[in-house]
Every structure is written in C-alpha cells, then in structure tokens.
Structure 1
Amino acid sequence: GSVRPSPRSRYRQWLTHKLATWIDQFGCSGCVGCGRCITWCPVGIDLTEEVRAIRETAAGVRKE
C-alpha cells in the first residue's frame, strides 16, 4: 500500500520536500516555478507567489 494514503498527506509531503528538504540537502529550493502546486491546491493559493514574498522578506531581514 501507499506510505501516505490520503491525497492531503501526499501533497503536504511533496510541498515539504520541495520547499524545505531541498534547502536542507542542497542549499536551494526545489521549486522551479512550474505552477503544479497551484493546480493541486484545494483553495487555489499561488505558492510560487508566496515563496517569492517569503524570500523577499527574508532577504530584507538579513540586510537590516
């Protein structure tokens, strides 16, 4: 059987892998801006835009 049986748990794992695990392992995000996450998000959140905003905020915090 599937390790993650529900679509929600699979989606959560996929996002965690792309946005956190890649940074831990490779020092960069696994997001390539394809928009797949927007298609699968049940409420239509544009995660590529959210990630961009977080990066800009983090960059601003580091500069201060």
Structure 2
Amino acid sequence: MISSRITGSHEVMLGKPVVRSTRLTVELLLRKMSEGAMAADLLRMYPQLEMADVEAVAAKR
C-alpha cells in the first residue's frame, strides 16, 4: 500500500499506483491534470472518485 487513497498491487494494473478500489491509475489522472482538467472535471468524469482521492493524486506531482 502506498497511502490510504493510493495503492499498488501487482494484481491490479500490473502494480501501477491506482486510486483505491478503482482501476484509475495515478498516471492517467496526472496526465488529465497536466492537460488542464480541474478537480471538478475529474470528479465529473470519474464519479467513483472523491475529492480526497484527487487531492492525494495531486500530491504525487
């Protein structure tokens, strides 16, 4: 486990860091942010996310 919000397991997405209980990789979400997506955009695109998940991903920048 990487944090309470971001986990990594070889069984899920070949061990890439993902938001817990999802298959959304930190890499994907950071790419979306670098392309201009705001937290509200990510929450709308991926309704399974919570604001704390987005904040945890942003902290990985």
TM-score of the pair, normalised by structure 1: 0.29
Question: Which structure is higher in helix share?
Answer: 1
Which structure shows the bigger proportion of residues in strand conformation?
2
User: Bigger radius of gyration, 1 or 2?
Assistant: 1
